[in-house]
Structure 1
Amino acid sequence: MPRIYKGRGYPQKSPKRKGKFDPSDAQNVKHTTVGVWDLYEEIHPELAHVPGSSRLEPYLEMAKNAPYAWRMLRDIASIRACWWLLGVYLAVECVASLIPAVSLWYSAQLLNIVQSAVDKRTVDKRLLFEIAAGRLACLFLSRLLRHVRTRCVTPLNHRIKQFYAIHSFRAMARLDVPTFEDDAVQRQLEQAVAPMSHTTIAWDTVATTLRAVTTVVQLVSQLSVLASVLSGQRDGVTLALLSCAQTVFARTVAKGPLNATGVWAATTKNADYIRMEGMKKTVSAVAHRKEIVAGGLQEYFFDQFRQSVEILGDHAKGFMQAMRLTTERFSLMSFFQDPLRELPQIVFTLRAVQYPASIPVSLASLNLITQTTESFTHLLVSFYDEAGFVTEKLADVRRLYEVAHIPNRVPDGREPFPEDQMSLEQGMSVEFSNVSFRYPGSEAYALRHASFRIEKGQLCVIVGANGSGKSTILKLIARLYEPEEGEILIDDRDIKLLKLEDLRRAISVLFQDYTHFPLSIKENIGLGDPDNAMDEDKVRQAARLGGAEEFIERLPEGFETYLERPVRDYYSSLPEGTTSLFGRPVDYGRLRDAGGMQASSSKGLSGGQMQRIALSRSFMRSLVSKPGVGLLLFDEPSASLDPKAEHDLFERLRQLRGNKTMIFSSHRFGNLTRHADLILYINDSVVLEEGTHDELLKKDGEYAHIWNLQAQAFLP
C-alpha cells in the first residue's frame, strides 16, 4: 500500500491530476530503492513537453479549484458573526505585517545616529529617544495584535469547525454500504473529512491564504525600506546580495529528494519488514492480548521479532526515516555553504582595513544589512512555500466538497412503497429470480442463480452452513447491495424501482454481525424506531420482548448506561488503589475504538446479553402495533443465546409477528423449522432444496441428512 508522508520537511500530497500513474511504466516512472522501500517518481508529468509546465501546473490547479474556494467563502459568510471576525482578523494581520518594516526603518535611523556621532561627535538625544520609543511602541503593538488575533481566531475556528463538522457528518452518513466499504472512498474520506484535533481544512485554507497575502505586504514594505537603507550605506548592495545568496544556496542544498508538486508513491515488498511490523502491531493491540497470554506466545513473538530485526539490520526503518537519512547524505555542494556564509564578514574586514575610521559604522551597518537581508530572503522563500500551500489547501477544499457528492452504488428508485400502507399488516411477498451476487473485490459467488418465492405472511427459515449465503439473501432484500444478475421482486414489483427510504422503512432487520452504537442502552434500543427513540415506555417494552430488561435494570445506570463511553476521562497518575473515578472504572489503557466494538464488548456484559440488546432494537421496530413494517428479517438471531433463551425468543417472535412476513436465517435446525411455512436449504451459495419441514424430510435430501445428524446428537 503506498504510504505518503507529510510535513514541512517533506513533500506534501499534490492535487490529483488527470491520467494514470503506473509504477510499472519504466519510461515515465523512475524507480529508486530506499532501504526496504521501493520509491516510484513520475518523470514525465502531464504537459511535460511544454517548457516550464511543472511550474505552471500548481497555478492551473489553483484556477480549477477557485470555484470551490468561492463556495467556501459563501458558506463561511453564512455562519453567524463570521464576516466581521474575518474582517478584524485580516486588518490585524495587515497591520502586523507592516511592523517589521517600521522596525527596520527605526533601525536605519539608529544607524544614521551612529554615523552622525562618528562624523560630528554629537548625538541628537531627542531623535534617539523618539527612535527608542518607536521601537518600544512596535513591540507593544505586536503584543496587542497577537492578543486580538487570538481572540478572533478562537471563535472563528470553532464556528467554522462546527459548520463543516455537520457537512462532513452528512457526507459520510449518506453513503450506502458498498460505497462506504470501497477503499478508494475511504481514502477520499480520510483526506477530506478526517477529524482534525484543533482546526479544519476550511480554516487552514483561509489562514494560509491570508498569510500569503500578508507576506506580500511584508515583502513590499520591507523591500522599500531596505532599498532606502542600502542606498545610503557603503557596499550595502554587495553585502545584501551576499547575504541573500547564502540563504538561497542553503535552501537549494537542503532541498529534499522528491518533487513537492510531483506524483510519487512508495511501497515495500520485503517479507521480513512486513512481518516485523505485523508483530509490532500484534503485541501492541488490546484485541490480541488475551490470546497472546493464554497461548503463551510472548517468547515466540519476541524471538521472531528479534530475528527479523537482525536480518534487516540497518534497513529496518520506516519510509519517513529512510527518506530523512537520504536527504542527510554527504553533498559536495554543502562544502560551499559555510564559506559563503562568511563572505559578508570578509567584505567587512577588507572595508575596515581600507577605512579604519569607519569601523563602528560599518559594524552596525553589517549587522543591520545582513540580518535584514536574511530576514527578507527567508520571507521571500516563505512566500514561495505559502503559494504551494495555498495550492494544496484549495485542493483540500475541493475534496471537502466533492465527498458530499460521491455517488452511491445502490441507485434510488422512484416509485413509492407501498401503495396502500395498511397492506403491510398482511406482510410482504419476496421473490428471487435467478439472482447471483459477489461481494466487491471477491471472485467467489456469495449467491448463485437463486430462485424462490416467499408469500405474504409466511414464516421462512433459511438454513445452511456458515458462509453458505444465508446472510447475503437478507442483505439483498434490504438492498444493501445490488445483485450482479437476476431480479428481486417485492410484492411483485421490481425492488430497484422502489424508493429506498420507503422500502427500508417497511423492513425490520437484525444482522448476524450486529453492532452496538457508542450511545446509551436506551438509545441503542430506541434507534429501532427513530421517531420514538427517546420514548422510555416503548423502549422498555422492546427490551422486555427482547429479553434484555431484567439485566439492564441491574446495571448501575440502567437504561442510561453507555455500552462504550465515546468520551474518555482525563486524569494524572493515580495511586495504585484507585480503581474507580467519577463512578466509572479507571481505564489505564488506551481508549478503545467504540466504532469497532464487537458483540462481546464492555460493561461486563456477555455476548448473549449484547445480542438481546440488538434483538430489543429489532423489536422496537417490528412491534405488531407499528403498521409501517411488513417484513421482519433475522440473521442468526440466537447465535449467542442459550437454549432456553433461544426457545423463549422464537416463541415471542412467532406470537408477535401477526400476519407479517418473517424470514430467519440459521445454521441450527430445531423448533423454528418445524413451524416454518417455507424452508430454504442453501449450501455453497446455491439454494438446493425448498419446502416445509415434513416435505424436506420426505425428500430425504441434504436437509433430511443434516436434520438426522443433529437429532442423533441428542439421542441416548
Structure 2
Amino acid sequence: MRLCHNTLKGYLQLLDLKHKPLHDVWLASRSCSNQHRLLAPGAQRPFSIHNIKLAYAIVTRCAFQFAALLWNLHPLRVLLMVALDLFRGVFPAFRGYSQALIIDELQTLISSGNYTWERLVRLLLVELGRVLVESLIDTFATTNENIVQNSARYVMEYKQMEQRVRMDIPALSDPVVRDLFHESDLFVRSCSGVSSFGLLSPFDFIRILSLVSELASHALVLYALSRTGGHRWLLAFSIISTVLPLLLPWMGHHRAYFNDFHIHQEARTAAKQERMRALAHSDPYRPEVILFGLGPWILQSWANARRRMLGIEHAQSMADMKLSSIFLSGVNIPGILTSLQNIPLVIALQSSSASLGSLSLYRNSVQCFLFAARNLVTTVQMAFQSIFLLGAFSAAMEMEPRMQPKKGFALPYRSLPKGMKLEARNLSYHYPGSKTPALSHVNFTLEAGETLAIVGLNGSGKSTLANILLRIAEFDGGELLVNDVDIRRYHPTEYHQHVTAVFQGFSKFNASVKENIGVGYVPDIGHHAAIERAADLAGAAGIVCSLPKGLKTTLDSGFDPTTATAAPGATGPINTGSHDGCGGYHPRTRHGLSGGEWQRIAISRAFMRAHRPEVQLLVFDEPTSSLDAHAQNRVFDTVEKLSRSGSGGPGAIGTGGRTKTVVFITHRLSTARRADKIAMMEHGTITEFGTHQELLQRNGSYAALYRASV
C-alpha cells in the first residue's frame, strides 16, 4: 500500500512538472538542498531523484523540438547519420575478428614450418580492403555529420542572437534571466565542443547509439567464443590482463584543429563575427542597440560573417585531409602490438586448443567492451547535465521583453504635428536590488514642441529619468503619458523610431568612423552623404578630414569587446592589419580620439535621424560636457534648428515652427537658460519646475545653484 502511494505521488509530481513553465522547471534544477540559494550558472546538477524527474520533464518537452530542428534542416542526412552511427558501432568487433584470422594464419605458418604465403597474402589483402572501406565510411559519415552539425549550430546561434537583441534592459537586469541566457549560451557553444561539462555536443546523444551497438557486438563475440570450457580461461586471462596497467602508452589519434588563420580575409571575418556577437551580448551597448533599432543590422552582419566562417572551416578541413591519414586512422596499431606480445605465451601453450588469434580476439573484445562501457557511462553522465542546458536554451527562446505590451493592450503610436507631448504623474523607479528609490513622485508636463532642461547635482536622478523617457528603463509606479497615451501601450520598437538621443555613457565602437556614426540610422549607414551631413551638423567634419582614411578610419575605443580587455594608458595605435585584395597584407591601425572628439561622433550619431519627420523627441544627456563654450553653443544652435521645420520640405532644417520636443540634461546653467522649461531635480524628484525667470524669482535651489555658477 505504501509503495502504491509513493508511486502515485511521483506520478502526480511528474504531471505537475509537465504543466509548469519550462523556466520554472529549469530554475528548480538549480535549487540547492537548503532551498535558499541557487547553483552557479553552468554548475553540475546532483544526480538525484528530484533532478531525474526534472530532466525527464525537460526531455519530454524539448527533445522533440531539437529533433525536429535537425529533421527540418536535413531529413535524409539525419537518418543517414543515425544509421551510420549504428553501423560504425560494429566496426571494432569486425576489426578484431579480421585481425585474429591473420594472426591465426601467422601462428600456423610458424608452428608447422610450412611457409605457404598464399592464404596469408589473401587475408592481408582482405584486411587492407576492410581498412580502406571502413576509413571511407568513417570519412563520409564524418562529413555528413559536419554538414548537419554546422547547419544546426548556425540555426541555434542565430536564434540565440535573435533573442538577445530582442531583450530589453529590465529583462536582462534580472539575475535569473542573465543566468538563463548564460546556460543557454553554454548549450549553443557546446555544438562546437565547448561546454562547461566537457566536450559534449548535443549530437553526442546520437553517439550513445553507436556505443550501445559496439557493446552489443563485443558481447556477442565474447559469448560465442567462451561457450566452451576450454576457452573460458582465455576470457579470464584477458579480463585480468586488461585491468592491469597497460604496457603501451595510449596511442590516440590527435585531431587537427585549424585555428591558425593563414588567410587574412578569414581573420577579418572572424573579428566581425565576434564584434557583432559582443554588440548583442554587451550590457553597455544595450541602450543604443535598443534605441537605434540595431537588432536586425547586428543579426544580419553576424549571420553573413558566421556563414562565411562555417564555410571556411568545412572547406579547410576537407582540403587538408590526406588519403594516407584516412587510411592509417583505421589501423588499430596498439591492438596489434598488444597481441604480438603474447606470441611467446601461446607458443608455450601449444598443447592447448587456444590460438593466438583467439587470445587476440578475446583481449581486443574485452578491452573495447570495457572502454566502450566507460565511455557510455561518461557520456550518459554528461548528457544528464546537458539536458538542463537544453532546458535553458528552450526556456530562453520563450522569454519575452518585459516592456512589451500585452496582446490587446498595445496601441499604434499617435503622432502630434508639433512634436511629442510628455506628462509624468508620480513616477517612481528602483534599481534592481535597491531599496532606495532612484526616482520618487516625479511630476511634470511638457507640451509638444517645447524644450526642457533638466538640472541638478550628480546622483539626483537626471539620467534615470532620461532613460525612462526614452523607454529604455521601466518605471515602477505612476504614469507616463506620451501624446496623452500611456507609454506602456506603445511597443518599444515602434516608439524608438520616433526618438533619438545622446547618452552620457555613449558607446565607442572599435569600428570605422562611418559605422560609429551610421548606426544612428542603419538604413543610411552605406550613404556617405548622409553620414557626412550628420558629422557636419555635429561639428565633426574637421575631425573626419584630419583622419588618415576619413570615414573609413578605424577608431580605437580603448576597450575591445571581443577580448573583454581594456588598454588604459596605451600609447600608439593598435595594429590590426588590412587586406588589399591583391594578395598583399598591410598593417592597419586603430586611431584613438579625445573625449571631446568622441562626443562629437556620438552627437553625429544622434543627428543621423534627428532631422527625419517621424522623429519627435530629441534627448541629450550631457551632450557637450567635453566641449568648449563656443562648440557647445554651436551644437545647441543646431539642435534648435533641427527641432523646427524648414522651407525644404518635411525633415528640412529651418527656422519655422517647432516640430520636435527637446529634452537635455546639463550641469551648465547658462545652457539651461535656452530651454522653455527647466526642471530642478533633487534626491530623485523634481523640486522646482518652470521657466528660468520663474525659478529665479522663487529664490529656491535653482536660483542658489545658478548664482553659484555665474
Give the TM-score normalised by structure 2.
0.69
**Residue of structure 2 equivalent to 1:641:** 627
DSSP 3-state at the match of 1:695: helix
Render the CA deviation track for 1:539-574: whole Å, top value 9, x for unaligned. Answer: 2211111111221133223223333598999xxxxx
Structure-2 change in CA distance of 1:25 and 1:161 (3 Å): closer
- Once residues 29 and 439 of structure 1 are traced to their aligned partners in structure 2, the CA distance between those partners, rounded to angstroms, is 22
Render the CA deviation track for 1:413-451: whole Å, top value 9, x for unaligned. Answer: 6443433x4x2x401111111111111122222111111
Contact 1:507 1:630 in 2 (8 A): yes
- Once residues 247 and 187 of structure 1 are traced to their aligned partners in structure 2, the CA distance between those partners, rounded to angstroms, is 44
1:397 maps to 2:429: no
- Once residues 505 and 114 of structure 2 are traced to their aligned partners in structure 1, the CA distance between those partners, rounded to angstroms, is 89
Contact 1:178 1:481 in 2 (8 A): yes
Q: Displacement, 1:488?
A: 1.2
The counterpart of 1:18, out of the listed 18, 21, 28, is 28
- Once residues 27 and 675 of structure 2 are traced to their aligned partners in structure 1, the CA distance between those partners, rounded to angstroms, is 57
**Residue of structure 2 equivalent to 1:279:** none
Q: Which moved more, 1:390-399 or 1:546-555?
A: 390-399
Q: How does 1:480-491 map to 2 (within 5 A)?
A: 480-491=472-483
DSSP 3-state at the match of 2:501: strand
**Residue of structure 2 equivalent to 1:167:** 159
1:64 maps to 2:71: no
The counterpart of 1:142, out of the listed 131, 134, 137, is 134
Q: How does 1:427-576 map to 2 (within 5 A)?
A: 427-564=419-556
Q: Which moved more, 1:140-149 or 1:689-698?
A: 140-149
1:621 maps to 2:609: yes
Q: Displacement, 1:201?
A: 8.5
**Residue of structure 2 equivalent to 1:663:** 663
1:412 maps to 2:399: no
DSSP 3-state at the match of 2:351: helix
Contact 1:431 1:490 in 2 (8 A): yes
Q: Which moved more, 1:359-368 or 1:86-95?
A: 359-368
Q: Share of identical aligned residues, percent?
A: 25
Look up the equivalent residue of 1:237 and give its one-letter code: R
Q: Displacement, 1:579?
A: 7.2
**Residue of structure 1 equivalent to 2:675:** 676
DSSP 3-state at the match of 1:155: helix
1:212 maps to 2:183: no
1:75 maps to 2:75: no
DSSP 3-state at the match of 2:520: coil
Look up the equivalent residue of 1:182 and give its one-letter code: D
The counterpart of 2:235, out of the listed 223, 236, 240, is 240
Render the CA deviation track for 1:306-336: whole Å, top value 9, x for unaligned. Answer: xxxxxxxxxxxxxxxxxxxxxxxxxxxxxxx
Q: Displacement, 1:144?
A: 2.1
DSSP 3-state at the match of 1:399: helix
Q: Which moved more, 1:543-552 or 1:180-189?
A: 180-189
Structure 1: unaligned runs, 5 residues or longer: 1-14, 31-36, 48-53, 252-343, 570-577, 588-601, 712-716
The counterpart of 1:386, out of the listed 379, 398, 412, is 379
Render the CA deviation track for 1:55-101: whole Å, top value 9, x for unaligned. Answer: xx27x72563244232223223333xx33444444454344332211
DSSP 3-state at the match of 1:69: helix
Structure 2: unaligned runs, 5 residues or longer: 1-24, 247-337, 564-573, 579-584, 645-657
Render the CA deviation track for 1:633-691: whole Å, top value 9, x for unaligned. Answer: 11111122222211111111122211121111112211x22221111111221211111
DSSP 3-state at the match of 1:75: helix
Look up the equivalent residue of 1:611 and give its one-letter code: Q
Render the CA deviation track for 1:332-389: whole Å, top value 9, x for unaligned. Answer: xxxxxxxxxxxx99xx99x999x85437956665454234312211112212222333
DSSP 3-state at the match of 2:679: strand
Structure-2 change in CA distance of 1:518 and 1:158 (3 Å): farther
- Once residues 456 and 157 of structure 1 are traced to their aligned partners in structure 2, the CA distance between those partners, rounded to angstroms, is 55
Contact 2:104 2:355 in 1 (8 A): no
DSSP 3-state at the match of 2:599: helix
Q: Displacement, 1:628?
A: 0.7
Q: How does 1:179-218 map to 2 (within 5 A)?
A: 179-193=171-185, 196=189, 199=192, 205=201, 207-218=203-214
Structure-2 change in CA distance of 1:648 and 1:157 (3 Å): same
Look up the equivalent residue of 1:78 and give its one-letter code: N
DSSP 3-state at the match of 2:63: helix
Contact 1:205 1:394 in 2 (8 A): no
- Once residues 446 and 661 of structure 1 are traced to their aligned partners in structure 2, the CA distance between those partners, rounded to angstroms, is 25
Structure-2 change in CA distance of 1:186 and 1:546 (3 Å): same
DSSP 3-state at the match of 1:146: helix
Q: How does 1:61-460 map to 2 (within 5 A)?
A: 61-62=55-56, 64-79=58-73, 82-110=74-102, 113=105, 126-193=118-185, 196=189, 199=192, 205=201, 207-231=203-227, 234=230, 236-241=231-236, 243-244=238-239, 357-358=350-351, 361=354, 365-412=358-405, 414-419=409-414, 421=415, 423=416, 425-460=417-452
Contact 1:520 1:563 in 2 (8 A): yes
- Once residues 474 and 564 of structure 1 are traced to their aligned partners in structure 2, the CA distance between those partners, rounded to angstroms, is 28
Look up the equivalent residue of 1:191 and give its one-letter code: E
Structure-2 change in CA distance of 1:562 and 1:693 (3 Å): same
Look up the equivalent residue of 1:452 and give its one-letter code: F
1:605 maps to 2:597: no
Structure-2 change in CA distance of 1:426 and 1:245 (3 Å): farther
DSSP 3-state at the match of 1:18: helix
- Once residues 46 and 387 of structure 2 are traced to their aligned partners in structure 1, the CA distance between those partners, rounded to angstroms, is 25
Structure-2 change in CA distance of 1:103 and 1:352 (3 Å): closer
Q: Displacement, 1:238?
A: 4.4
Contact 2:101 2:357 in 1 (8 A): no
Contact 2:30 2:45 in 1 (8 A): no
Q: Displacement, 1:151?
A: 3.0
- Once residues 28 and 576 of structure 2 are traced to their aligned partners in structure 1, the CA distance between those partners, rounded to angstroms, is 56
Contact 2:513 2:554 in 1 (8 A): yes
DSSP 3-state at the match of 2:203: helix
Structure-2 change in CA distance of 1:519 and 1:75 (3 Å): farther
- Once residues 189 and 31 of structure 2 are traced to their aligned partners in structure 1, the CA distance between those partners, rounded to angstroms, is 29
Structure-2 change in CA distance of 1:129 and 1:164 (3 Å): same
- Once residues 679 and 355 of structure 2 are traced to their aligned partners in structure 1, the CA distance between those partners, rounded to angstroms, is 98
- Once residues 84 and 675 of structure 1 are traced to their aligned partners in structure 2, the CA distance between those partners, rounded to angstroms, is 69
Q: Displacement, 1:153?
A: 3.8
- Once residues 177 and 555 of structure 1 are traced to their aligned partners in structure 2, the CA distance between those partners, rounded to angstroms, is 35
- Once residues 484 and 580 of structure 1 are traced to their aligned partners in structure 2, the CA distance between those partners, rounded to angstroms, is 46
Structure-2 change in CA distance of 1:197 and 1:537 (3 Å): farther
Structure-2 change in CA distance of 1:17 and 1:163 (3 Å): closer
Structure-2 change in CA distance of 1:392 and 1:250 (3 Å): farther
Structure-2 change in CA distance of 1:240 and 1:396 (3 Å): farther
Contact 1:111 1:361 in 2 (8 A): no
Contact 1:434 1:450 in 2 (8 A): yes
**Residue of structure 1 equivalent to 2:8:** none
Render the CA deviation track for 1:139-176: whole Å, top value 9, x for unaligned. Answer: 22233233323433443333333222221110101000
Q: Displacement, 1:695?
A: 1.3
**Residue of structure 1 equivalent to 2:299:** none
Aligned residues: 553
Look up the equivalent residue of 1:609 and give its one-letter code: E
Q: Displacement, 1:581?
A: 4.6
